[in-house]
Structure 1
Amino acid sequence: MTNPIYLALDFPTWCETKQFIDTYDLHGVPVKVGMELFYREGPKVIDKLKANNHSIFLDLKLHDIPNTVMRAMRNIAALDVDIVNVHALGGSEMIKWAKEGLLLGGTGKDTKLIAVTILTSISDQTMNEELRLNGSVNEIASHLANLSYESGADGVVCSVHETKRIKQVCGPSFLTVTPGIRLNQSDKNDQRRIATPLEARKQGSDILVIGRSITKAENPKKAYEQALEEWNRGYESGNC
């Protein structure tokens, strides 16, 4: 993958999204479209981004009974995006049916199905005490990754700090998509398990998702280029 860094378009409207892309000349970079933008603008926002040559990760995190997810994914497949996702906590049947929906609704594009393990905002304490899931975040994330792998997913969303173990469990070709990426000097905001692009490359991440470190930067284009430079430095140093 020549450019594995997806820019999170966490804007409420297409107007603001387009203005940001145009202002900072970020045409054609891979992008993540989440709930906020998609629920406001609908499928038309995907068409507009595709017309601008953006690769798209549609981040809707489906989590429902298997039949409902299958039907939803069958409709999503027609959008011809690059990556879609579900919550691994939905279980193996839901993941299998999500994959089936992609195949039934697909138009020939090899859309990747990835499953969210544990959100990067969740700590061990939250997971153990509030969600009543025993074990560390790392252990649970690895278990959910293996469940996703065995259920036909192409990869998972996970923290950078879980990628090495997940690769060991699921194999090197199993995709690890890692949010919680921060450039040097960036704020952590509401995410706990974070890392820089260089650290992510060293740990074995395949795809990065970066939002506020770029969108809130004084010069977003320069920040995006910095992220790419850090990623490529990890490759050149042989630490990948």
Structure 2
Amino acid sequence: MDQPFIVALDFSSKEEVQSFLQLFSDTSLFVKVGMELYFQEGPTIIDELKQRGHYIFLDLKLHDIPNTVKRTMKGLAKLGVDLVNVHASGGSAMMRAALEGLEEGTPNGMKRPRCIAVTQLTSTSEQMLVHELLVDRTMKDTVLHYASLAHDSGLDGVVCSAQEVPLLRARFGPTFITVTPGIRFANEAKGDQVRVVTPNEAKQLGTTYIVVGRSITKAHDPHEAYERLKREWDGEQ
């Protein structure tokens, strides 16, 4: 999984996924399976993606009492995915329970899925944080606090905006994973995201992985859009 690009398979059916992946028959992608796809197709979609040779980020954002999260992660570990996540706002006990479940559920001879925590969604603005979520700290303070809880709980990293990556790098060093959604090509509309950056800005900020969905999956030519992503990451036009 040395490639820094995670393609979000934001589809509702296996047929849509198959149609999209036919364009990448010669490429091993790192893909994200979120709630929309997983809740429609279940574990069978994971098996199919693995058979095609793709790496998988199972993005279910678990957030529940520790025991429920532990048992759920124990089951998810058997699927053989590469990356899973929880909400950091579930607290330290829940995050530690998630790791325990993954350790217990990972079959012998297989590597435990890496586990990261969502700090604040990239659709969350500073105004929403204060007026709707009643958090009286700045976005950076909140993200850093949640990331500290995740780090101290033993998690492998966090989901955050690329704008917050330098702050986390300074505190936790280069091995702490940062997965950053909210990526848009240069001159592209933000959509429902708020804290967004371009691929090259994300690289300059030092993130580990960027998540790109609609910019590729809804493109007229998804394969060319993926190539454009690689060019923009490297600062090419």
**TM-score of the pair, normalised by structure 1:** 0.94
Q: Deviations over 1:3-62 (max 9, x none)?
A: 110100000000111111114657421100000000000000000000001000000000
Q: Which runs of 5+ in 1 are unaligned?
A: 235-240
Q: Which residue of 2 aligns with 1:237?
A: none
**TM-score of the pair, normalised by structure 2:** 0.95
SS of 1:53's equivalent?
A: coil
SS of 1:78's equivalent?
A: helix
Q: Which residue of 1 aligns with 2:165?
A: 163
Q: Which residue of 1 aligns with 2:33?
A: 33
Q: Which residue of 2 aligns with 1:65?
A: 65
Count of matched residue pairs: 234
2:225 equivalent to 1:203 = no
Amino acid at match of 2:147: A
Q: Please provide the CA RMSD for this pair.
A: 1.3
- Shift of the alpha carbon at 1:233? 4.0
- Contact 1:145 1:170 (C-alpha < 8 Å) held by counterparts: no
Q: Which moved more, 1:84-93 or 1:27-36?
A: 27-36
The whole-number CA distance in structure 2 between the counterparts of 1:199 and 1:69 is 34
SS of 2:234's equivalent?
A: helix
- Shift of the alpha carbon at 1:110? 3.4
Q: Which runs of 4+ in 1 moved over 6 A?
A: none
- Shift of the alpha carbon at 1:167? 1.2
Q: Which residue of 1 aligns with 2:217?
A: 215
- Contact 2:103 2:112 (C-alpha < 8 Å) held by counterparts: no
Seen in structure 2, the aligned counterparts of structure 1 residues 162 and 26 have a Cα distance that, compared at 3 Å, is farther
Q: Deviations over 1:70-122 (max 9, x none)?
A: 00000000011110000000000000000010000012223110000000000
- Contact 2:102 2:112 (C-alpha < 8 Å) held by counterparts: no
Q: Percent identity?
A: 49
The whole-number CA distance in structure 2 between the counterparts of 1:115 and 1:159 is 13
- Shift of the alpha carbon at 1:216? 1.5
Amino acid at match of 1:97: A
Amino acid at match of 2:220: E
Alignment of 1:46-65 (within 5 A): 46-65=46-65
Q: Which runs of 5+ in 2 are unaligned?
A: none
The whole-number CA distance in structure 2 between the counterparts of 1:94 and 1:26 is 40
Alignment of 1:36-115 (within 5 A): 36-107=36-107, 108-115=110-117
Amino acid at match of 2:200: L
2:159 equivalent to 1:152 = no
Q: Deviations over 1:204-225 (max 9, x none)?
A: 1001110011111121111111
Amino acid at match of 2:76: I
Q: Which residue of 1 aligns with 2:126?
A: 124
The whole-number CA distance in structure 2 between the counterparts of 1:177 and 1:78 is 23
- Contact 2:77 2:112 (C-alpha < 8 Å) held by counterparts: no
The whole-number CA distance in structure 2 between the counterparts of 1:204 and 1:137 is 19
Q: Which residue of 2 aligns with 1:138?
A: 140
